[in-house]
Structure 1
Amino acid sequence: MATLDINRVRKAYGKMEVLKEINISIEDGEFLVLLGPSGCGKSTLLNIIAGLEEITDGEVLIGNRVVNDMAPKDRDIAMVFQSYALYPTMTVRENIEFGMKIRGIPAAERAKATQQAAEMLQMEGLLDRKPSQLSGGQRQRVAMGRAIVRHPDLFLFDEPLSNLDAKLRVDMRTEIKRLHQRLGSTIVYVTHDQIEAMTLATKVAVMKGGVVQHFGPPQEVYDRPANVYVARFVGSPAMNIIPGRLLASDGAPSVAFDTPSGEAVLHGISLSAEAARHYAGREVLIGIRPEHCARDPQGAVPVGVDVVEPTGPDTLIVFSAGGTEVVARLDPHATEVGQQDRFAVKTEKVVLFDPETEVRID
């Protein structure tokens, strides 16, 4: 187990810059998720940490050791790939033991480590099978077992659940969470799935275009996204971004936006006095999470319901506001299409963004 520090890291292929001044630090035992769409640079960053890609500029430190020029085998890491990367002619036991065998670890010690990993991952009955006899989830367990027996300073996971169906992804997510809790290991995990990021991470780095857009605890990323991109990328349904304006006021800040059914005014917005003075009377982007809306006859937001989408435990309501489509997450059977209604909003949860820079206003 070890700390990880990524300082001013850049990666370029000729004139094409893939990573731009990446700065991330995590403590021993933390679970870092690199989150973003395809092409954002997250896998390239993981490969740089692993030593599979050369760095253009900056430093990578694992446990306070600069590893820029260190070979992958000397970095004391273990990597779990999306494709499992198992040897098809070997049994599960042989796959798990293979790395230890190459390093000259005695047979008895190999057997003990393999048995412990199998018990931890609940695959004792699979040790004598070949990979072709296993399901996708079982193969991923074997790949994790092979990593565990190395007792590395750092575990690296490269989209390990992408090839699994929805139910298996949920099951394996739980296994990885349980593994982290048992081992207390330092993990870096790459994914494009924001649910995986929210459920697994102690820290999330949301990436776009080779730049970290927001780095912090998952709840902070969800509640106080650094910009509009993060607000829309994290959350399902995404945060509503509604064009509106900050009202000039001597009291607590208020915002207003238009709906086809009339003007909505939200009072008691959380905002610093300096920001309130600077943006008073100006246009802003109003960020509201779908679950922070509730049906209320006395609510501040008049709406005409355009679409109702029942999901079972709740219902998604779609209506227009500020010239854009807005989604509210309500109790089941809350309302009907075409109905004129009023919604209340948890104003203490509202986030404001600058309409030009799209950066959060504090």
Structure 2
Amino acid sequence: MATLEIDRVRKAYGTMEVLKEVSISIGSGDFLVLLGPSGCGKSTLLNMIAGLETITGGEIRIDGDTVNDLSPKDRDIAMVFQSYALYPTMTVRQNIEFGMKIRGVPTAERERATRDAAELLQMSHLLDRKPSQLSGGQRQRVAMGRALVRHPKLFLFDEPLSNLDAKLRVDMRTEIKRLHQRLGTTIVYVTHDQIEAMTLATRVAVMKDGIVQHLDEPQAVYDRPANVYVARFVGSPAMNIIPGRLEDGPSGPALVMDQPNGGESRISGVVVSDDARQRYAGQPVLVGIRPEGFSVSAGGPDCVEAMIEVVEPTGPDTLANFTLGGTDVIARLAPLAVRAGQTAKLAVETAKVVLFDPKTELRID
């Protein structure tokens, strides 16, 4: 286990800057997920931690030691790639042992480490098979076993589940979570899948265009996203971002959003700071409401009147589509709670409403 500090790290290819002063710090035993779309710089950052890419500026420190100029083999890291990178002519046992054999690890120690890793990953019965005889999930376990036997300070995973089908992804996600809980290892994991980030991470760094947009615990990123980009990227369906305005009255702050019929919906009881209340009173704001923040209500003064346009039953719940504030909105409701063409009264869980500045798109605190 090790700490990891990424201190104002930059990466440029000529005049094109891929990473722009990225700073991230995690403790020993943390599981950091670098989350973002293709091209955001997350894999480049992982490769720089591994020593596979040079650093243009800043420092990377593992357990307090600067590793900028160290070769990959001297950083005491192990990496699991998207492609399994197994030797096709070797058995599973030989693939796991190969790195130890190259480093001159004694035979007995190699055999013990391979046996322990195979038991941990539940693949002892596969040790004498070749990679061509394995499923995708089994091959990924072999790649993980090869990394485990090194007992490195830091594990690096580069989108390890992206080549697997949906069922295998869920199974392997559980295996990786179980592995982290058992070993308490420090892990950096790259993915574009926000479900993987939410379920695996102790810390999530959401990236866009080479910049960390939000770094925090997964639930904090979900509940209180730093900006509109994070709000829309994390969550499925994404957080609804609805144009509205903040009004301040004798009973406290309230949100007003336009209805398609020319009327307005007014939601009181919104939690805002005194400073935000003063600065944004009477001003436009962007109202962030997660789909599950709506619920069917019998009516009342603080409900949204929604003409349900489309209903999507998912089994455990129903996704209801309607228009509010001139934008498409999705509510996650109880099964069969509404039907298409129905006008429904929807209550809003005001404690979980997040407001954003319409110009900067940053969260209003």
Counterpart amino acid of residue 207 in structure 1: M
Residue number among 330, 343, 346 corresponding to 1:343 in the alignment: 346
Q: 1:265 maps to which residue?
A: 266
Aligned to 2:175, what secondary structure does the other structure show? helix
Alignment root-mean-square deviation, CA: 0.7
- Where does residue 285 of structure 2 map in the other structure? 284
Asked whether 1:128 is paired with 2:128, we answer yes
**1:268-298: per-residue Cα shift (whole Å, max 9, x none)?**
1111101110000000000000001001021
Letter in 1 for 2:95: N
Matched to 1:314, the amino acid is D
Q: What is the letter of the counterpart of residue 165 of structure 1?
A: D
- Amino acid aligned to 2:40: C
Matches within 5 A, 1:35-46: 35-46=35-46
Report the count of equivalent residues: 362
State the shift of 1:267 in Å: 1.1
Deviations 1:3-33 (A, max 9, x none): 0000000000000000001000000000000
Paired amino acid for 1:320: T
1:113 maps to which residue?
113
1:360 partner SS? coil
Question: Paired residue for 1:330?
Answer: 333
1:254 is displaced (CA, Å) by 1.2
Q: Which residue of 2 is the match for residue 204 of structure 1?
A: 204
Aligned pairs for 1:207-356 (under 5 A) are: 207-261=207-261, 262-299=263-300, 300-356=303-359
Contact 1:260–1:303 under 8 Å retained in 2:
no
> What whole-Å deviation, never above 9, does each CA across 1:215-245 have from its counterpart, x for those lacking one?
0000000000000000000000000000000
* Alignment TM-score, normalising by the size of structure 2: 0.98
TM-score calculated relative to the size of structure 1 = 0.99
- Secondary structure at 2:252's aligned position in 1? coil
1:188 — aligned with what? Answer: 188
Distance 2:184 2:304 in 1: 47
Q: SS in structure 2 opposite 1:190?
A: strand
Match for 1:356: what amino acid?
Answer: K
Q: Amino acid of the residue matched to residue 47 of structure 2?
A: N
Corresponding residue number in structure 1 for 2:80: 80
* Identical-residue share of aligned pairs (%): 73
Amino acid at match of 1:354: D
1:35–1:42 contact (8 Å) kept in structure 2: yes
Q: Which runs of 5+ in 2 are unaligned?
A: none
Task: State the AA in 1 paired with 2:22.
Answer: I
Distance in 1, matches of 2:293 and 2:244, equals 18
| Cα deviation digits, residues 189-223 of structure 1 (max 9, x gap) | 00000000000000000000000000000000000
Q: CA–CA distance in 1 between the matches of 2:139 and 2:285?
A: 50
Instruction: Measure, in 1, the Cα distance between the counterparts of 2:66 and 2:362.
Output: 34
Correspondent of 1:361 among 346, 361, 364: 364
The alpha-carbon deviation at position 251 of structure 1 amounts to 4.2
CA displacement at 1:263 relative to structure 2: 1.3
1:32 alignment partner AA: L
CA–CA separation in structure 2 for the residues paired with 1:249 and 1:105:
74
Provide the rounded CA distance (Å) in 1 between the counterparts of 2:319 and 2:352: 19
Q: C-alpha displacement at 1:248, in angstroms? A: 2.2
Once the two structures are TM-superposed, the CA of residue 257 in structure 1 deviates from its matched residue by 0.2
Q: Secondary structure at the match of 1:254?
A: strand
Match of 1:141 in 2: 141
CA-CA distance at 1:93 after TM superposition? 0.2
Displacement of 1:250 in angstroms is: 4.3
CA distance in 2 between counterparts of 1:178 and 1:265 reads: 46
User: Unpaired segments of 5 or more residues in structure 1?
Assistant: none
**Equivalent-residue separation in structure 1 for 2:4 and 2:271 (angstroms):** 34
The answer as to whether partners of 1:315 and 1:334 remain within 8 angstroms in 2 is: yes
Q: Which amino acid aligns with 1:350?
A: V
Indicate conservation of the 8 Å contact 1:291/1:329, yes or no.
yes
3-state SS of the aligned residue for 1:111?
Answer: helix
The more displaced of 245-254 and 270-279 is 245-254
In the other structure, the counterpart of 1:175 is 175
